[in-house]
């Protein structure tokens, strides 16, 4: 009887440690649902009536990367193309994400000033939304979300530069240029959707591009 009790206690302790309680080993104890941690590139397909879309996001060293090419979404909705950037969070077995609209694009010089020309994209169909789902131990995930039209907004572009000493009478002067532009409101109606995705890769390089497959 005593031996059976200690055997049961040992089995319970082993199972609890594997699940991350009682100081169990990572990644379970640090909020990750995956045995190999959350690093990697994720991609999901979204579908609804007259809707087809792709959602992508990427993690490295436990946090989402800043790569614009790996953290984005694009949807085809009733003949319109909607696109933007993705911000996602993996917590335990849950996945939450925000889909931001892409209304403008620009580049910067080496000193941080805005490089001209600046190209502004205002297609009158900007949209934003969210998605929520669950992730399994294998890295596949699924859930639902919604897109809606972005409201009209007025945006500012502020460029700060310093005049070249060899090309002006006032060397070193700071020049601030301020311009504004208005995005028209989007025309998309509220669009709910369901999605299903996988972790396509488990590692990322320093340049935020995938280097190996799962």
- Listed by start position, the domains of the chain span 1-30, 31-105+120-151+185-208
Residue 183 phi, psi dihedral angles, 5° rounding? -95, 130
**pTM of this prediction?**
0.67
Could you read off the pLDDT tens digit of each residue along the chain, which spans 214 residues? 445 544 544 444 444 434 433 333 444 444 567 777 889 999 999 999 999 999 999 999 889 999 888 999 999 998 888 888 999 999 888 999 999 986 444 555 555 555 666 666 666 668 899 999 999 988 899 999 999 988 888 878 777 777 765 555 556 677 788 888 777 788 888 999 999 999 999 876 544 443 343 4
CATH class of the domain at 31-105+120-151+185-208? mainly beta
Cβ contacts of 205-213, under 8 Å, gap ≥ 24: 207/67, 208/58, 208/60, 208/65, 208/66, 208/67, 208/69, 208/70, 209/67, 209/69, 209/70, 210/40, 210/41, 210/58, 210/70
pLDDT tens column, 54-109:
999 999 988 999 988 899 999 999 888 888 899 999 988 899 999 998 644 455 55
């Amino acid at each position: 009887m005593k031996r059976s009790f200690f055997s049961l206690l040992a089995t319970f302790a082993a199972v609890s440690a594997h699940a991350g309680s009682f100081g169990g080993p990572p990644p379970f104890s640090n909020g990750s649902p995956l045995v190999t941690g959350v690093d990697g590139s994720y991609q999901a397909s979204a579908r609804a009536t007259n809707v087809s879309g792709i959602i992508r996001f990427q993690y490295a060293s436990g946090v989402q990367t800043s790569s614009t090419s790996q953290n984005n979404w694009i949807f085809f909705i009733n003949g319109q193309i909607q696109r933007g950037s993705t911000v996602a969070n993996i917590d335990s077995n849950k996945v939450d994400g925000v889909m931001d609209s892409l209304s403008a694009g620009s580049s910067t010089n080496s000193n941080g000033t805005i490089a001209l020309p600046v190209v502004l994209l205002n297609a009158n169909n900007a949209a934003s939304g969210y998605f929520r789902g669950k992730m399994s131990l294998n890295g596949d995930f699924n859930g639902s979300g919604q897109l809606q039209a972005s409201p009209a907004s007025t945006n500012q572009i502020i460029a700060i530069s310093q005049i070249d000493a060899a090309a002006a009478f006032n060397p070193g002067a700071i020049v601030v240029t301020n311009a504004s532009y208005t995005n028209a409101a989007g025309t998309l109606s509220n669009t709910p959707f369901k999605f299903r995705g996988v972790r396509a890769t488990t590692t990322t390089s320093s340049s935020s591009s995938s280097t190996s497959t799962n």
